[in-house]
Amino acid sequence: MDFLLTGLMQLADPWLAGVMVFGAILGVVVGAIPGAGAAVTISILLPSTFGMDPLSGMTLLLGVYCGSAYGSAIPAVLLNTPGSPVAVLTALEAKPFADRGEARRAMSLAYSSSFVGGVLAVLALMLLTKPLALIAKNFGSAEFAMLAISALVLVVVGHTGRRLEAMAALAFGLFLATVGIETAFSTQRYTFGQTWLLQGIPLVPLVIGLFAMSEALVQLTGPGGRSKEVPLAGRFFDGFLEVLKYPRTLFGSSFVGIIIGIMPGVGEFLAQQVNYVWARKLSPEGHLFGKGSPEGIIVSEATNNAVPPAALIPMLALGIPGEELTAMMLAVFLVHNVIPGPDLFINRPEFVAGLYWTLLVMNFVIIIFLMFATKWIAKAALVDKRFLGVTILTLSLIGTYASNYNFSDVGIAMFFGLLGYILRSHLWPLTPLLLGLVMGPIVEGRLRQALGGANGDLGIFVARPISAIIVGALSLLIILSVRDSLKNRKSRAAWQINES
């Protein structure tokens, strides 16, 4: 109880409360702008958070993360364009609502299911993280190495239809992580005598280049223009109570979203697909799915919002980021020398408790804000894509140059901006690249520790029970997904088109 009260006291700090509200509102707004979104905003904000205390920095980024999950429903309903890729199902289900003049009903269904999913996931975060960290205290390097590798395997397996591309992106990220001075013998790897590469590939310019600059380039070189708006018709509060008519779908989607969110490397997409399939099968109104089903919106939004807080569970308890946004947030931890993992609860309990409460209160702030501000935020969704490109590119300079005042950082950002642009236009996933870069040193360090303790005997990974279980599960998963990929080989033309 003292632990939780400590966190509540942190929230009484007006600065922290202000940062939380600002982050949440910013998240909702950027989530509502197709092409902006959490990844772009967090990558640009990342250097600014290094000057803040870790709790404020994390709160700002989490506000953007959670807020954007809510905000992405706005263009999905009003423009029939998902604000972020995870709102694709919402866009699909909301179109018939908008066509019937019930856009507000669809919106309130989305908001209320987002709220339930988000709050339940924060409660899960509060209840599960510490016990998981206590269990992890008994883990050795072999277990941590296998857990980290499982995140890498899952991120590849999760990209159904593009697994080879995901594997290449992950391997490239892992390679980039090895550039610079390695720790065992202090020798240089792939620096080619360039002093600016001695410290390795810096995370911030890479993230800004890959996620923000590439997005700006896509918008600037694209056709541009404004989307066509759907009138905000119907009664706003209709959907708020309507979600309670579908408790199985609402709570089931949230529960599955939490479970899949905890699994590193999987993310919202798979969670949504799993939920959508079972909800359609179990629902007496399953025939309505894809044709404007309230349950379809509930599944999509409850899952979307359950994943972000749940993704924090493995990061806080084990130090393993589950997806791109938590991987970016790991940088905030590292800059402030806050080491996520089992010892975090002993060393920085006030930080963890503060994080819990800000996340919980954030959901209330967002839902109240949306009740009153949807009409105005909907205008932001109509911004011209070319202007969005100009804004993002201008902001990218602040992020890259001003974080380190180093020209080579800007060069790195430009290189990854171009690479991201090319990869995006070929529908190659970017997340595995970032996860490879962030997880590379963790995996290498843990593997070296584990093998060092066993004098190089690879049997260490199957000699310890938990590690052996992970090895077995991963082997099975790899065999099954290779078999699945071979069995369901599509023609190149089919998988090149965005299947979402």
Cα torsion 332, 173, 452, 180 to 10°: value is -80
Nearer to another protein, 187 or 195 (CB): 187
Indicate the residue type of 121: A
| Angle (nearest 5°) at CA 16 between 15 and 19 | 85
From CA 253, how far away is CA 247, in angstroms rounded?
Answer: 10
Residue 412 CB, nearest approach to another protein (Å): 13
Residue 420 CB, nearest approach to another protein (Å): 10
Q: Which residues within the stretch 433-472 sit at the binding site for another protein (CB under 8 A)?
A: 436, 440, 444, 447-448, 451-452, 455-456
From CA 119, how far away is CA 109, in angstroms rounded?
Answer: 16
Q: Are 52 and 60 in contact (CB under 8 A)?
A: yes
Region from 56-64, 216-224, 256-264, 309-317 binding another protein, contact rule CB under 8 A = 216-224
Nearer to another protein, 168 or 232 (CB): 168
Nearer to another protein, 12 or 493 (CB): 493
**Can you tell me which of 371, 426, 463, 469 binds another protein, judged by CB under 8 A?**
426
From CA 57, how far away is CA 351, in angstroms rounded?
Answer: 11
Nearer to another protein, 80 or 273 (CB): 80
User: Residues, the chain, total?
Assistant: 500
Window 5-34: contact mask with another protein (x via CB under 8 A): -----------------------------x
**Can you tell me which of 101, 224, 247, 472 binds another protein, judged by CB under 8 A?**
224
Region from 244-252, 266-274, 311-319, 380-388 binding another protein, contact rule CB under 8 A = 380-388
Nearer to another protein, 75 or 261 (CB): 75
**Beta-carbon contacts of residue 493 (< 8 Å; ≥ 6 apart):** none
Structure tokens at 387: 């202007």
Nearer to another protein, 27 or 35 (CB): 35
* Strands, E assignment, 152-287: 180-181, 188-189
What single DSSP character describes residue 189?
E
Q: Which residues within the stretch 149-208 sit at the binding site for another protein (CB under 8 A)?
A: 164-165, 167-168, 170-172, 174-175, 177-179, 182, 184-185, 187-192
**Can you tell me which of 1, 12, 486, 497 binds another protein, judged by CB under 8 A?**
497
Nearer to another protein, 308 or 399 (CB): 399
Residue 182 CB, nearest approach to another protein (Å): 5
Q: Which residues within the stretch 50-89 sit at the binding site for another protein (CB under 8 A)?
A: 51, 79-82, 88
SS3 442: helix
Nearer to another protein, 3 or 172 (CB): 172
Q: Which residues within the stretch 243-262 sit at the binding site for another protein (CB under 8 A)?
A: none
Q: Which residues within the stretch 400-419 sit at the binding site for another protein (CB under 8 A)?
A: 401-402, 405, 407, 410, 414, 417-418
Three-state secondary structure string covering 295-350: HHHHHHHHHHHHHHHHHHHHHHHHCCCCCHHHHHHHHHHHHCCCCCCCCHHHHCHH
**Can you tell me which of 16, 60, 145, 216 binds another protein, judged by CB under 8 A?**
216
From CA 356, how far away is CA 351, in angstroms rounded?
Answer: 9
Which stretches of 100-140 are DSSP H helices? 103-136
From CA 218, how far away is CA 418, in angstroms rounded?
Answer: 10
Window 280-319: contact mask with another protein (x via CB under 8 A): ----------------------------------------
Residue 445 CB, nearest approach to another protein (Å): 10
- Cα separation of the two ends of the chain: 44
Window 118-147: contact mask with another protein (x via CB under 8 A): ------------------------------
| Angle (nearest 5°) at CA 231 between 225 and 234 | 155
Q: Are 451 and 141 in contact (CB under 8 A)?
A: no
Nearer to another protein, 123 or 451 (CB): 451
Residue 496 CB, nearest approach to another protein (Å): 5
Nearer to another protein, 6 or 48 (CB): 48
Residue 113 CB, nearest approach to another protein (Å): 20
From CA 240, how far away is CA 108, in angstroms rounded?
Answer: 5
Q: Is 361 in the site for another protein (CB under 8 A)?
A: no
**Can you tell me which of 1, 346, 486, 493 binds another protein, judged by CB under 8 A?**
493
Region from 57-65, 136-144, 276-284, 422-430 binding another protein, contact rule CB under 8 A = 422-430
Nearer to another protein, 179 or 243 (CB): 179
Pairing state between β 180-181 and 188-189: antiparallel
Nearest to 76 by CA among 53, 47, 46, 96: 96
From CA 467, how far away is CA 277, in angstroms rounded?
Answer: 32
Structure tokens at 227: 């989307």
Nearer to another protein, 107 or 116 (CB): 107
Rg (CA), the chain: 22
